[in-house]
């Protein structure tokens, strides 16, 4: 879906139609298979994990594209960047990196950061992680370009919702402080070798329960100092 929405904007204005987007779907799936043949394993005996065959699965993706066209008119947009790699080195902290799905730049230089989500929008009260992700992008762009983004926008294709927020300097400073606190915790764990698991509802989606103490698993042996060395932590 992300690749289709990226390549759709390669077409000239007036030709960015829903039919054109649908035509891109099979080719982008084939590109994935060429990049990594393991994707083919999603369909065992031609049937995917949701019980659909390849054609049905692509049809579901086509439905998401239909939702996108109810939210934005790509013939009225001219993105400045798509799938943009952004990064910024925090003084005394980690290198921040991310890929922005789309960056729009207004004639006055105002930045709009857009991220596509194929799932449904979070329920009220559960927006924290989504807000943090977008402010993370906003922070990196602010540090990289010296321009405070005007708008952070999440487009949820699963239910047709668009969440928007206008970040302030205080928002992004707070985000940086949170990142530094997370990084500090990682550094402490690397130095001590103590990695404490935290059980949550998301554990049901995790593929690593076999090595997680919270589920009776056994942690793999890690050579002493290996994690600290990998993270560049000394002392």
Convert the pLDDT of each residue in 168-207 to its tens digit.
999 999 999 999 999 999 888 888 878 888 899 889 889 8
Rounded to 5 degrees, what are φ and ψ at 41? -70, -10
Structure tokens at 24: 């891109």
Q: Please, which residues have CB within 8 angstroms of residue 141's CB and are 6 or more apart in sequence?
A: 86, 100, 103, 111, 113, 147, 149
pLDDT score at 114: 98
| Angle, CA of 105, 109 and 111, to the nearest 5° | 45
- pTM here is 0.86
pLDDT digit string, tens, across residues 70-112: 999 999 999 999 999 999 999 989 999 999 999 999 999 999 9
Residues 47-62 have a mean pLDDT of 84
In the predicted model, is pLDDT for residue 134 greater than 80?
A: yes
Mean pLDDT (whole number) for 119-139: 92
Q: Which residue has the tokens 């929405």?
A: 5
**Mean pLDDT, residues 125-140:** 93
User: Domains (ranges, CATH) in the chain?
Assistant: 2-76 (no CATH), 81-176 (3.90.320.10), 195-235 (no CATH)
CB atoms within 10 A of CB 68: 20
pLDDT at 235 over 60: no
Instruction: Report the chain's terminal Cα–Cα distance, integer Å.
Output: 45
pLDDT for the residue 13: 96
Residue 56: band (very low, low, confident or very high) from pLDDT cuts 50, 70, 90: confident
Instruction: Compute the average pLDDT of residues 52-78.
Output: 93
For 138-172, write each residue's pLDDT tens digit: 999 999 999 999 999 999 999 999 999 999 999 99
The whole-number pLDDT of residue 100 equals 97
Mean pLDDT on 113-133:
92
The H or E element spanning position 109 is none
């Amino acid at each position: 879906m992300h690749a289709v929405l990226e390549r759709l904007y390669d077409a000239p204005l007036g030709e960015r139609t829903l039919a054109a987007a649908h035509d891109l779907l099979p080719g982008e799936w084939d590109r994935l298979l060429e990049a990594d043949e393991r994707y083919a394993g999603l369909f065992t005996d031609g049937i995917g994990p949701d019980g659909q065959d390849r054609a049905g699965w692509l049809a579901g993706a086509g439905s998401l594209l239909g939702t996108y066209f109810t939210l934005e008119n790509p013939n009225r947009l001219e993105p400045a960047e798509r799938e943009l790699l952004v990064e910024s080195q925090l003084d005394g902290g980690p290198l921040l990196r991310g890929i922005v799905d789309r960056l729009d730049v207004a004639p006055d230089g105002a930045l709009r950061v857009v991220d596509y989500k194929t799932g449904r929008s979070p329920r009220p009260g559960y927006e924290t992680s989504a807000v943090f992700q977008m402010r993370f992008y906003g922070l990196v762009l602010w540090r990289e370009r010296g321009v405070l983004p005007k708008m952070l926008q999440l487009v949820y294709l699963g239910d047709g919702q668009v969440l928007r927020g206008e970040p302030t300097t205080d928002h992004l400073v707070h985000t940086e402080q949170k990142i530094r606190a997370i990084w500090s915790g990682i550094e402490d764990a690397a130095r001590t070798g103590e990695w404490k698991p935290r059980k949550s509802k998301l554990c049901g989606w995790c593929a690593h329960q076999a090595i997680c103490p919270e589920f009776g698993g056994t942690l793999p042996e890690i050579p002493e100092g290996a994690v600290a060395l990998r993270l560049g932590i000394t002392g």
